[in-house]
Structure 1
């Protein structure tokens, strides 16, 4: 037996690039308020940290934060600063694009020249309502005798009677300079910097992308390593990748990921889309594409991002336009013409990868293909934290619970959910907000807090975008309490569907995968659809209801494509329940279909079998079929591994019929003389749909009486005290009829016996209906019809 201490955990190299390498000069950003560093020119470190980095108090240091942002500060000693930390003012943290707790790289700064000229502009929102000469009252006192270091692009805050924020627009002779007393400071007060333009320039960073940890590691390997360290590839004698294809459902963050890579790597970023390239003039579209690649080569390192690349480079065999074919050929030529170490990378994004031209997807063009799929529970929690980081949340907000209950949501859906929760919070305050007023009271703004109820409301009206095209049920409202009886059926469903969703680890113990399919069969109107909705609600799974005929079309191959797309969406939205109502319409025994077009039903069934075999064990997708014709369903669909759980939904017994009466009449005012148990006893052999028809007919009779009475005494007086009486139900029962014959019941019973038999020592043949019994029931049935 191996010793416990001898085993070592294997390192996950797939995400190694995301791990921060430890170094003495990588310090954690801490708050400077109350410490030594209280302005935009200083950074405070402990004496031990300064000695370790060979930095002296008062010397200049270069600070590097996120997105390759740098600035220059004076180092100051602060004994209260913890070892391994760096205290920075809010302004310096903003210039470095870091938050408290983020890592900042500190290096000794070489000699910096004094500035000859510096151009400074204020930010528009900070000077709003302020009059006077800001240069004399703010900038001159700030820079006089201070020898402040500045870098082009930095913003700094000057406190006076009001706090005013400025931006360094230009510096001479270098980007990093020290503003001395002889420096010419140009102040442009007539053209302030717009705050929204500044925020737009920042762009998204890695911290703004959630739920794609492994994909982020892969794309950083493929983009940052060739751009920053091309010698790695030269040493190994291989060519760095030229192209990356990101594919996945809409809203998963493909475009955001590409923009974050560009912002963090500092590469020149060029966005290419269809309308930008396409032109009606012959040859102009190809010329536009050549200009893009020429610009990228001239401004390398560069990233060319082709959003919705399937619109630019479709499959040439499938397109009829000559322009599209020429553009694809030009793109292939340009990607082949990229020099191996040109430091230009092409990133394409699409949600239809199979519609791209195959020639683009070979090595040397789009070398890598990354699946940006629907995030799992941990990924959804990460995305929720990103979207709520600036949102005032109440103490009762449980983001982990929200992440668990939002199966199938992509990043865009979660952003919409957070936005809707905030809107609901605002709606609750509209009674005290004066919309006509230009300003809102500070107390109202401070009282705005998003609570768990707001998020629950948002979850009810926000649906996964992947399921909006399909027949998704809003939210199944049916629970087990609404279904009377059928305890064995409920237990079987819980074991088949609910347990794998809630307790997957228990199945892993035994090394077996759970069942993936259930077939409900039984007489019509007995609650097969209702049962499927109830289990979906109990395990909080997405629920897609499909009527069999909805999948069939007149076009060759389109019915099979509908099946494929349906299962693709279900996998993306796992855990998901696919409910096929009237399954017999698309799963009839092969060879028995009468339809033309080469046996459409046979091809649809073959596709259905293929998709069910292809359901990944890690993707909790369940298929539930419902039929009242189990005898015509193809046996291949009923074998173990497909629809292996056959559940018979019988006609309701007396207690179930009573529950059905109560469920249908729960909102109806009834006379206390109405005896529901007696009605349940007298409706033996009736299905749930038959009982509902009795209740509807009784209601119709009551409404008829009200209309007649209202003509005599008026509508208001007639409706007062209206209720369903015993007479209404007696009249309704006279017209009641059974929709399921005794012959049908016998056939279902024998079918149930055939598929519920076990293995005995003496293998008995499958039971068959006694001919005499069938003939007797058939004679009675024909006689009743003749009467």
Structure 2
């Protein structure tokens, strides 16, 4: 066999840009940058097949002329003067490929701009291409790089090495001369690869086991601000307690632990209702400037989630933000399970590193959702994953004042403080979003007042929002926390409840013991009151008294009928109960009022009353109610009121201490109570001088408060009928004593002696001393 037949085959071709054929092959991500593309026939000639990706040598034989380069790709090349001195030999490795389906001449080779710049080739160069004796691409062990500008010490260099590692990992290959642009904490820097495994003309694959080292690192360029060394979040108005908790968690990123395993997870969950400020808190964390910020969007795929974690791990310190986990892994997402698995795996890897190094890896993962229990899967609620969670509570008066200060808008300077204080006191249960809507409504009311026809009148001075505008805005704005389940009660005062002095006293004492801050009084309270059950005949002011308690206390009021929580779908009723209590906790101090509680609080076992034939769903909901009232989580700042006409149907577990601590019988009004109810209702109407309230109170014995109100309404109707029939006119059109007495004699009593006896028997068994 002759020597000519042993000589490797080669082809000669002219360099042209890849973009002439397919721009997608010259991506900014550097993927495929080390490939060169030849005609399919040329590939077969060189390799004996059509397989791409084999290693080859590219050597320049005839340099390009300035005219040739300028006519083809002058904008992409270096200055033309460079070409005049580029006669030095260039011999570099590349990966040989062909473009499928392309009709390219056999004497043309396509090169990416990144490859040409790294190796020194220019458009128009004539090159010789031949296959390497070892066509396999070896993995890179050590990649050495240098910064094109000054860099700080070892700590800064390590951050840039991580960023460069990710860029090369995504590119898949590396060769000397390659320039890569990196970003760390918002700052950009360009690095040039000097050598790959001590060689300067080779190409190698870059993978998990590859290492990059930056040489000649001295100091950062003057004038470039350094990223903050400590992770601290500030400037969250209205959420001072939450800000303090977050910074306590962030200490793990700023120091070494005293004890091994003191803190494992790099991730936290911030949860709260809509408008609670979750996105704002995430933005404040991103604004710390501690690390490069990566965001996982709600429509991202599982592969994207994994890539973001790898990128963040390579460019430490870094922050990964997931705003809306409930959407990212929602039930309608077909890949929700895969995304959940990927999140868990990435967090576990970070936790394992924390265990080994006794400090948290500088990769912070912050997740937001509406509800931690329901939106975060159980497999993510682990110590090494997303076990730490911070609920965003509804701000108190001081917090609302801080938020309103940032949203004050066009308020008169002389009255600004008093107006903001007034708003802060009157916006119970308003979250930050609600306060923003409130101020928007105030400005809209101002515009409507100044310009009801929406014209453009000339204003001599800047208009300010008045108190009337704010009051109108308060009427138009309903707090989010009070949405759906919550019913805002009518304004009812104690004087609007006729009689029932014992009940009023019990309710007043409950409020006083809950709100007192007197340290001496607190020493007298063993357990703050929690629940109060009102039972008795219908129409005896149980619901009215609860409304008056809400008005007089100023607490946020959540009123629901027991039947409203029942749902045909499995688990939904229990979820409704949990959400109700969660909202009440967030809006504390608050009152939850269960009307007709026997519909959900009936006895579970066999026997009489509601205990018969109770569905499993009703039993589960009752169990949830029992747990929420007196479970592992303290019910602080929330009072439970309930009313029932059927106390014998109640489950005994609801009546034990720690749940309904007090049981109050609300019976028929006594003589003084009946007179007070007549006075309250007839006092609003025109009555004759012969109306004797004391006599009416005597005649109406056995009537409930609601029935006495009905008597007054019937008497009013009789007076109106007499006026319509012409029997009365002018000043004679009044309600007479005879009208009221006739109504008393006509209306039947709804509460029987048998009913009262039943209440008395039950009271002897279950009532508690008030």
State TM-score, norm by structure 2. 0.61
How far apart are the structure 2 equivalents of 1:607 and 1:724? 52
1:264 aligns with 2:288: yes
In the alignment, is the contact (CA less than 8 A) between 1:208 and 1:386 conserved in 2?
no
Alpha-carbon distance between aligned partners in 2 of 1:579 and 1:405, rounded to the nearest angstrom:
21
> By how many angstroms is 1:667 displaced?
4.0
One of 446, 464, 475 as aligned partner of 1:448? 464
The answer to whether the Cα contact below 8 Å between 1:393 and 1:449 also exists between their aligned partners in 2 is no
- The alignment partner of 2:643 has SS state of strand
Structure 2 equivalent of residue 305 of structure 1: 321
CA contact (8 A) 2:410 2:464 kept: no
Aligned-pair CA distance for 1:364: 4.6
The correspondence for 1:370, drawn from 390, 394, 399, is 390
Q: Relative to structure 2, which stretch is displaced further, 532-541 or 598-607?
A: 598-607
Deviation at residue 567 of structure 1 after TM alignment: 1.6
Instruction: Write out per-residue CA displacement over residues 554-607 of structure 1, whole angstroms, 9 at most, x where no aligned residue.
Output: 333333332222222211111111111122222233313456575444433333
Asked whether the 8 Å contact 2:321–2:365 carries over to 1, the reply is yes
Question: Within 1, Cα distance between the matches of 2:404 and 2:361?
Answer: 38
The separation in 2 between residues aligned to 1:754 and 1:235, in whole angstroms, is 56
Aligned mates of 1:208, 1:720 — CA distance in 2: 67
State whether residues 663 and 768 of structure 2, in contact with CA within 8 Å, keep that contact through their aligned partners in structure 1: no
1:477–1:312 CA distance, 2 compared to 1 (3 A) = same
Matched, 1:351 2:370: yes
CA distance in 1, matches of 2:485, 2:743: 39
Structure 2 residue matching 1:397: 3-state secondary structure: helix
Equivalent of 2:430 in 390, 402, 409: 409
- State the alpha-carbon separation in 1 of the partners of residues 392 and 258 from structure 2: 30
Does residue 247 (structure 1) correspond to residue 262 (structure 2)? The answer is no
Cα distance in 2 between the residues matched to 1:238 and 1:567: 32
Are the aligned partners of 2:297 and 2:323 in contact in 1 as well (CA < 8 Å)?
Answer: yes
Q: Name the structure 2 match of 1:90.
A: none
- Mapping 1:615-654, distance limit 5 Å: 619-654=636-671
Is 1:565 matched up with 2:579? yes
User: Secondary structure at the residue paired with 1:265?
Assistant: coil
- Residue 679 in structure 1 maps to residue 673 in structure 2: no
Structure 1 235/513 Cα, relative in aligned 2: closer, same or farther at 3 Å?
Answer: closer
Counterpart for residue 466 of structure 1: 481
Kindly tell me: are residues 242 and 724 of structure 1, through their superposed partners in 2, closer, same or farther at Cα, counting changes over 3 Å?
same
Q: Distance in 1 between matches of 2:720 and 2:362?
A: 79
Bigger mean CA offset, 643-652 vs 523-532 = 643-652
User: Which residue number in structure 1 is paired with residue 622 of structure 2?
Assistant: 605
2:746 to 701, 713, 735: 735
**Superposition pairs of residues 728-767 of structure 1, within 5 angstroms:** 728-752=739-763
Q: Does 2:432 align with 1:420? A: no
**Partners of 1:666 and 1:294 in 2: CA distance:** 76
1:216 alignment counterpart? 243
* Matches of 1:708 and 1:175, distance apart in 2: 99
Once the two structures are TM-superposed, the CA of residue 292 in structure 1 deviates from its matched residue by: 4.3
1:205-258 deviations in Å (ceiling 9; x for gaps): 9665213234324434656984xx6x8689999999543321223222221111
Matching residue of 1:777: none
Shift in alpha-carbon separation, 1:325–1:636, aligned structure 2, 3 A: closer
Structure 1: where are the runs of 5+ without partners?
A: 1-151, 153-173, 178-204, 278-284, 711-716, 760-787
Q: Match for residue 581 of structure 1? A: 595
Return 5+ residue gaps in structure 2 as ranges: 1-186, 188-220, 225-231, 355-359
Contact 1:522 / 1:628 at 8 angstroms: preserved in 2? yes
Q: Does the residue aligned with 1:663 lie in a helix, a strand or coil?
A: helix
Find the structure with the greater CA-based Rg. 2
SS of equivalent residue, structure 1 residue 347: strand
CA–CA separation in structure 1 for the residues paired with 2:546 and 2:263: 54
RMSD: 4.0
> After superposition, where does 1:323-342 map in structure 2 within 5 Å?
323-335=335-347
Cα gap change, 1:698 to 1:221, in 2 (>3 Å)? closer
Give the match's secondary structure for 1:345.
Answer: strand
What's the offset of the Cα at 1:678?
Answer: 2.9
Does the 8 Å contact 1:526/1:651 carry over to 2? yes
Query: Structure 2 CA distance, aligned partners of 1:238 and 1:701?
Result: 79
Aligned length: 533
Following superposition of structure 1 onto structure 2, how do residues 42-61 of structure 1 map, counting pairs within 5 Å?
Answer: none
Cα separation, partners in 2 of 1:730 and 1:487, compared to 1, 3 Å: closer
Give the structure 1 partner of residue 402 of structure 2. Answer: 382
What per-residue deviation string (whole Å, max 9, x for no partner) do you get for residues 329-384 of structure 1?
34445556679898543321011223323333435544643232233344333323
Tell whether the 8 Å contact from 1:243 to 1:365 is kept in structure 2 after alignment: yes
Q: Partners of 2:654 and 2:377 in 1: how far apart?
A: 36
Report SS of the residue matched to 1:264. coil
Question: For the structure 1 residues 551 and 723, does the alpha-carbon distance in structure 2 shift closer, same or farther, using more than 3 Å as the test?
Answer: same
Give the secondary-structure state (helix, strand or coil) at the position aligned to 1:246: strand
Cα gap change, 1:326 to 1:749, in 2 (>3 Å): closer
**SS of match in other structure, 2:287:** helix
C-alpha distance in 2, partners of 1:596/1:455?
Answer: 53
Deviates more, 1:680-689 or 1:378-387: 378-387
Out of 376-385 and 518-527, give the one that drifted further. Answer: 376-385
Residues 393 and 450, structure 1, Cα contact 8 Å, conserved in 2: no
Any conservation in 1 of the 2:264–2:383 contact (CA below 8 Å)?
no
- Equivalent residues of 1:517, 1:623 under 8 A apart: yes
Alignment of 1:648-727 (within 5 A): 648-705=665-722, 722-726=733-737
Offset at residue 312 of structure 1 (A) = 1.3
> 1 CA distance for matches of 2:247 and 2:767?
56
Distance 1:721 1:448 in 2: 52
State the TM-score, normalizing by the size of structure 1. 0.60
Please state how far the C-alpha of 1:687 moved relative to its aligned partner: 0.8
Q: Secondary structure at the match of 1:588?
A: coil
Closer/same/farther in 2, CA of residues 589 and 214 from structure 1, 3 Å limit: closer
Aligned to 1:44: none
Q: Is the 8 A contact 1:273 1:309 kept in 2?
A: no
Measured against aligned partners, the alpha-carbon deviations of 1:28-87 in whole angstroms (never above 9, x if no partner) come to xxxxxxxxxxxxxxxxxxxxxxxxxxxxxxxxxxxxxxxxxxxxxxxxxxxxxxxxxxxx
Cα distance in 1 for partners of 2:309, 2:743 equals 78
Aligned ranges 1:51-90 → 2 under 5 Å: none
Q: CA deviation at 1:731?
A: 4.5
SS of aligned partner of 1:274: coil
Alpha-carbon distance in structure 2 between the residues aligned to 1:737 and 1:695 = 14
Q: Distance in 2 between matches of 1:688 and 1:417?
A: 39
CA contact (8 A) 1:241 1:345 kept: no
Please state whether the residue corresponding to 2:528 is helix, strand or coil. Answer: coil
Q: Which residue of 2 aligns with 1:492?
A: 506
Specify the alignment match of 2:566 in structure 1. Answer: 552
